[in-house]
Amino acid sequence: MKIRFLGTGSGASVGSRRFKSGVLIDNTILLDCGTGVNFRLDDLSLSTKVEVVMVSHLHIDHINGIPEVLVQRAVNKAPPLKIRSPPGFTSYFRSLKGIGNVINAEIIEDYLPTFKNDQLAIWSVKADHAIYGVAYVIDSYDKRIIYSGDTAEPVDEILEVAKDADLIIHESSCIDDCKQFGHTSIKEVLTLFSGKKVILTHIPAQLDHVMRTYVRENIILAEDMSEYEI
Ligand SMILES: [Zn+2]
Ligand SMILES: [Zn+2]
Rounded Cα gap, residues 186 and 172, in angstroms: 5
Model confidence over 56-91: pLDDT tens digits? 999 999 999 999 999 999 999 999 999 999 999 999
Mark the residues whose beta carbon lies below 5 A from ion ligand 2. 59, 150
Q: Is the pLDDT at 180 greater than 90, yes or no?
A: yes
SS3 106: strand
Concatenated DSSP letters for 14-68? -SSSS-SSEEEETTTEEE---TTHHHHHHHTT-TTT--EEE-S---HHHHTTHHH
Three-state secondary-structure class, residue 160: helix
Task: Look at residue 137 and tell me whether its pLDDT is greater than 90.
Answer: yes
Return d(Cα 99, Cα 111) in angstroms, integer.
27
The pLDDT value recorded for residue 2 is 97
Ligand 1: distance of its center to the CA of 77 in Å? 31
Identify the burial level of 21 via C-beta atoms within 10 angstroms of its C-beta, where 0-12 means exposed, 13-18 middle and 19 or more buried.
Answer: buried
CATH code at position 96: 3.60.15.10
Q: Say if residue 42 is exposed, middle or buried (CB neighbours under 10 Å; 0-12, 13-18, 19+).
A: middle
The pTM assigned to this predicted structure is 0.97
Q: What does the pLDDT look like over 47-64, one tens digit per residue?
A: 999 999 999 999 999 999
Query: What is the count of structural domains for the chain?
Result: 1
CA of 142 to the centre of ligand 2 (A): 30
Round to whole Å and give the CA distance between 177 and 188.
8
Q: How remote is the CA of residue 63 from the centroid of ligand 2, in Å?
A: 10
Per-residue pLDDT at 209 exceeds 90: yes
Residue 188: which residues within 8 A CB-CB, separation 6 or more?
153, 154
How many other CB atoms are found less than 10 A from the CB of residue 14? 11
- Distance from the CA of 8 to the center of ligand 1, in angstroms? 10
Residues of the domain holding 17: 2-229
Q: What percent of the chain has a predicted confidence (pLDDT) above 70?
A: 100
Say yes or no to pLDDT of 148 above 90.
yes
The three-point CA angle 56-60-64 to 5° equals 95
State whether the Cα torsion 150-156-135-224 is positive or negative.
Answer: positive
Res 217 pLDDT > 90: no
Question: Minimum-distance ligand to the CA of 181?
Answer: 2
Summarised one tens digit per residue, pLDDT across range 96-108 is 999 999 999 999 9
Tens of pLDDT, residues 4-52: 999 999 998 899 999 999 999 999 999 999 999 999 999 999 999 999 9
Find the 167 Cα to ligand 2 centroid distance in Å: 21
